[in-house]
Amino acid sequence: MSHRLVILGAGESGIGAAILGKQQGYEVFVSDGGAIKEQYRKDLLDNAIDFEEKQHTAEKILSADEVMKSPGIPEKNEMVKQIRTKGIPVISEIELAYRFKSDSKIVAITGSNGKSTTTSLIWHICRTEGWDCALVGNIGYSFARQVAENPKPLYVAEISSFQLDDIKTFRPDIAVLLNITEDHLDRYDYRFENYIHSKFRIIENQGAGDYFIYCADDDVIIRHLENLTLNTNSLPFSMKQEIKKGGSIKGDQMMIRVQEERVSMSIYDFALKGKHNQYNTMAAGIAAATLGIRKEKIREAVKTFESLEHRMEHVATVRGVEFINDSKATNVNSTWYALESMSKPTILILGGVDKGNDYTLIEDLVKEKVKAIVCMGTDNQKIHEAFASIVPSITDTATAEEAVQTAFQLAAKGDIVLLSPACASFDLFKNYEDRGDQFKQAVRDL
């Protein structure tokens, strides 16, 4: 009897799941409420997968044995409610990929901030060691597509809370939890507890042979751990205390201890700068040591890593004004990290789709470092209310070009213009990459 798998959403994860499902003999149907991108439509046609777009046909969807819901679709979606009411099992794409990964290993990284950087760094360390591994999840290919088209012995996966919401058996060999700060609360009934629970699902299926790497300086993580019984091996990392098994930074020295292997190196040798990146580098180093990568290769990789596009990316210096693209900062905490690493007067470009932001988190840093704010969004009222009394100049703009030109006029030689919006980008842009690309183009056009 055939297993009918219906996939809601035809983005990267939906298409990956469709290709893998078809390959494994499922009867697959893909439904997207919007238009499907040309490349993804081609993938569906090439694989002879049945699909619909700009609509959800209830009878085709509700006849499913199982539904794979794309991470971008919220529970309050009408179709999702009907699926839930009918009691059809809902899984996420990483759950499907996990079913068919055979005996390969998974390192899974989650957290509110620093996921992409840490995931990329772990992958870079593995590649430096000469391993055949894939970078998957929220970054690069979807996990399911990789398993279907080019399986590897090791997957380094960036995992979001949305992807963890619908797992059943997904179990990484090594789970990394970087930090938990208020984000995406609009998807969790505005209850921080729900979001925390979601992040911790990364370890819910782990057992005695698995590892859990987490930040011991994160109060939210530590509080939640007090009420949990762990079935996995803990490897904490900290800058505030000495860690016997895990990682710590004391003075300017990072020390990682896993099993017998010890790795030490100076933080001045890290390719990634800023305190938050010291945490990310520790986490990546512990994961690599746990995989059994040689310490000299870990050191070499940490020194040679190049940071990601749209994450604290230096764009250009124009007449003494430096422009930095941190478009990937889609929440207030990301912007906090960006401001924390600023050492010169800063013109801050903020705004977009607010996800329930609490701007008081960055108030002190804004007071200390920001001389002007340029808003780039359709609704900037909340930003004005939060900072009107502490920043002398707040200007509204409607495009990346206008924002860059306004910021440049407000800047003096030696200043920094920082795009770190603290918001999602969907009001004016396709996504944060599009926002970052338009910002960079506007800087080049100055």
The CA distance from 421 to 424, in Å, is 8
The CA distance from 301 to 299, in Å, is 6
Phi and psi at 68, nearest 5°, equal -100, 115
| Encoded tokens for 104 | 């390969």
209 is in an annotated binding site: no
397 is in an annotated binding site: no
101 is in an annotated binding site: no
CB within 8 Å of 83: residues ≥ 6 apart: 61, 62, 64, 67, 69, 90
The CA distance from 251 to 407, in Å, is 37
142 is in an annotated binding site: no
114 is in an annotated binding site: yes
117 is in an annotated binding site: yes
The CA distance from 165 to 172, in Å, is 15
**Is residue 263 classed exposed, middle or buried when 0-12, 13-18 and 19+ CB atoms within 10 A define those classes?**
buried
- Closest alpha carbon to 198 in 159, 144, 229: 159
The CA distance from 239 to 234, in Å, is 17
The CA distance from 377 to 273, in Å, is 29
DSSP structure class, residue 186: G
116 is in an annotated binding site: yes
The CA distance from 325 to 310, in Å, is 5
Which amino acids are annotated as binding site, given as ranges?
111-117
Which amino acids are annotated as binding site for ATP, given as ranges?
111-117
